[in-house]
């Protein structure tokens, strides 16, 4: 899988950075900073401070994004005809996006409005 991680497309990198930001905001807000550690995103995309539960979810989300079969015409996940996430993780990503999207917009990250609604 490491060879795949090194050859991420521009779109994959953007999506992984975005989900990393959303999960980090969610984790800090819901789980606090008690027992968190640094989670390294692939391909030098940075690090996120996450608890063990959120780090496991983030690893799952990155793996699913890297393996997406629709790379050429990739829609947003909520509009996708193929759902890569398991039912439980799909509910988790909806919760993460709803929680973090609102907070990022309140912090002035208006560029996330597009992703939040579309």
pLDDT in the model for residue 3: 40
Residue that the structure tokens 């629709």 belong to? 70
Q: What is the pLDDT of residues 86-97, one digit of tens each?
A: 999 999 999 999
Q: Which residues pair with 37 in a beta bridge?
A: 50
Q: What is the pLDDT of residues 65-113, one digit of tens each?
A: 999 888 778 777 777 888 888 999 999 999 999 899 888 877 766 666 6
18-39 in b/e form (b: 16+ CB < 10 A) is: ebbbbbbbbbbeeeeeeebeeb
Q: What is the pLDDT of residues 30-59, one digit of tens each?
A: 998 678 899 999 989 999 999 999 999 999
Crossing angle for the helix pair 87-106 and 10-31, nearest 10 degrees?
A: 80
């Amino acid at each position: 899988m490491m060879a795949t991680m090194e050859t991420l497309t521009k779109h994959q990198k953007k999506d992984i950075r975005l989900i990393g930001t959303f999960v980090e905001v969610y984790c800090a807000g819901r789980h606090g900073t008690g027992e968190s550690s640094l989670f390294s995103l692939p391909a030098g995309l940075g690090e996120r401070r996450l608890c063990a539960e959120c780090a496991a979810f983030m690893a799952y989300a990155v793996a699913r994004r890297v393996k997406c079969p629709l790379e050429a015409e990739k829609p947003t996940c909520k509009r996708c005809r193929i759902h890569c996430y398991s039912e439980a993780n799909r509910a988790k990503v909806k919760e993460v996006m709803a929680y973090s999207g609102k907070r990022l917009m309140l912090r002035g990250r208006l560029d996330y409005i597009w992703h939040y609604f579309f």
